[in-house]
Amino acid sequence: MPTEDQQPLILSRDEHSLSRKKIDPDALKVLYRLHRSGYKAYLVGGGVRDLLLGKQPKDFDIGTDASPDTVRRLFRNSRIIGRRFKINHVYFKGNKIIEVTTFRAEVDSDEETEDVEPVVRDNQFGDDESDALRRDLTINGLFYDISDYSIIDYVGGIQDLNDGIIRIIGEPERRIREDPVRMIRAVRHAARTGFEIEPVTYNAIRDLAQQIELSSPARVHEEVIRDLTGCHAREAFKLFDKTGLLPYLTPIISEAIQRDPKNVWKCLDHTLAQIDKMSASVGPGSVGTYFAAMLVGVAGVEELRDRVPESLADEVAPFFVESAGELAQYAALPEPLEKLERASAPTLRGPVRRSSRKKVKKSDLRRTIDALYLPLQITRRERDVMEDALRMRFAMITATMSAEPDERQEALRVIRKSPLFSAGLKLLRLTARGENAELLDEWESVSADRQHKSAKDVKREKKKRTRRRRRRRKRSDRADSEE
């Protein structure tokens, strides 16, 4: 790590592999306009890191010494946002946003870190060096200067990129206490890149893991979602467990691992691998479905009784089981079709008028979901998706168990028509293994049949609309001729 009196490492255009051809054209427009207006214009953070690693960045963020008001004047298609620290969003076609941030001053760690202090300090502008030193990881503290196409490194990020090291900038313990969310980010980038976490940083995370409870639940929730949907959930959750963060992020999963490490990790490893596969193939899926998938095979009756009232444990346990055999232990099904119809019916959704809001009662399953995922504070939308997916998956497994052929065929008919069918099938795809792999094949064929019928219905409806238009046109022509 460079000390304060050391000069930054500057790599000229010939000494690095970053090419402007890989930078988004709209980001280049912003960089060049800032530069031509006499201001520093750097591509910063993850964009530089990913381009040096040969990856295509998701975002292209820009740092400058121009004030937010100056940037606003330079770009009419921009808007200043943020209360804690003002930044500029420059808008382009296709809902594209290029974020432009004025260099910030480095946080003075000798000051008291009361809740109100970071807001005051973060609104202090600085220079490019202070901005680099206040970032989280060395590999995220690199700048690409559009004026001469050089890379500026104040924090040793180039060396760490070459060595495959994840390192927190500055003294890890002090920086983690300033912002505990940096621990999650260190784990994310280690999982995403395959790099090793530097020993001092790793030990600081293990020692201070409980500090994550001091962070805003909304911020922690957002960071965990980025890990779940970023195609590296499998490695991220392994590192959460190794670094001691998992008990403070998802306690129920941590408790299940402690109870039965081998079997629980076998289930989780399969599920998280499927989540990564789904995110990579079709883009990030529904976060609620991902959360529900992790609970299946993990939320046993032991965990449920520790986290929800005992009266609810036996009632909701069937929704989390992995197989038909386990389901039979918890659920007596004398009238399977009746239970299927209830499970496949859509639950109450949408806005509720104030006058009737108090009358809406949470289902046992929804109350259980709230309790299981604390302290993440699952959003209402995610909770709804989890409940729908778990109910429909329960209906699918129960239908497969039905012994009577007539009941089984009737159950298939009910489920096929349910608006929740796709949610249950997606959850089954994420969790099916062992005997459920055959069950999944059956429901995939049901899905294909449903899609085929749906395509026929669309074609039939199109023909009906065409016939109606022709009849209206004939009536209109007849009326014109009579006149």
Read out DSSP for 182-225? HHHHHHHHHHHH-PEEPHHHHHHHHHHGGGGGGS-HHHHHHHHH
Both structure tokens of 362: 């949470």
Phi, psi dihedrals of residue 462, rounded to the nearest 5°: -65, -40
Residue 412's pLDDT is 80
Residue 399's pLDDT is 80
Q: Exposed, middle or buried, 194 (CB in 10 Å: 0-12/13-18/19+)?
A: exposed
Cis peptide bond upstream of 375, omega within 30: yes
H or E element in which residue 321 lies:
none
| Direct distance between the N- and C-terminal alpha carbons of the chain, in angstroms, rounded to an integer | 91
User: Would you list the DSSP string of 83-128?
Assistant: SSS-EEEEEEGGGEEEEEEEPBPPP-TTS---TTHHHHHHT-B--H
State how beta strands 61-64 and 78-81 pair: unpaired
Could you give the residue ranges of the DSSP H alpha helices within 331-434? 336-344, 354-357, 364-372, 380-401, 405-417, 421-431
Candidate list 24, 59, 145, 370, residue with the active-site label: 59
Secondary structure (3-state) at 481: helix
Candidate list 65, 131, 136, 388, residue with the active-site label: 136
pLDDT tens by residue, the chain, 483 residues: 555 556 899 999 999 999 999 999 999 999 999 999 999 999 999 999 999 999 999 899 999 999 999 999 999 999 999 877 899 999 999 889 999 999 998 755 444 333 333 334 455 889 999 999 999 999 999 999 999 999 999 999 999 999 999 999 999 999 999 999 999 999 999 999 999 999 999 999 999 999 999 999 999 999 999 999 999 999 999 999 999 999 999 999 999 999 999 999 999 999 999 999 999 987 767 899 999 999 998 888 888 888 888 888 888 888 888 877 777 777 555 454 555 555 555 554 444 344 444 444 578 888 899 889 988 888 989 999 999 899 888 888 888 776 677 777 777 888 888 888 888 999 999 998 877 788 888 888 888 877 766 666 667 777 777 888 888 877 777 766 665
Secondary structure (3-state) at 30: helix
Active site residue 163: no
CA distance 247 to 305: 17
Active site residue 59: yes
Secondary structure (3-state) at 143: strand
Residues in CB range of 225: below 8 A, 6 or more apart: 287
The CA-based diameter of the chain, rounded to the nearest angstrom, is 96
Phi-psi region of 297 (alpha: psi -120 to 50; beta: other; left: phi over 0): left
Candidate list 50, 61, 65, 384, residue with the active-site label: 61
- Four-residue CA torsion sign, 271, 58, 53, 224: negative
> Are the C-beta atoms of residues 297 and 260 closer than 8 Å to each other?
no
User: Which residue type sits at 167?
Assistant: R
Residue 347's pLDDT is 52
Q: The pTM is what? A: 0.84
Both structure tokens of 406: 């007539």
Active site residue 50: no
Give the HSE-up count for residue 309: Cα atoms under 13 Å, Cβ half-sphere. 5
Residue 335's pLDDT is 53
Q: Exposed, middle or buried, 336 (CB in 10 Å: 0-12/13-18/19+)?
A: buried
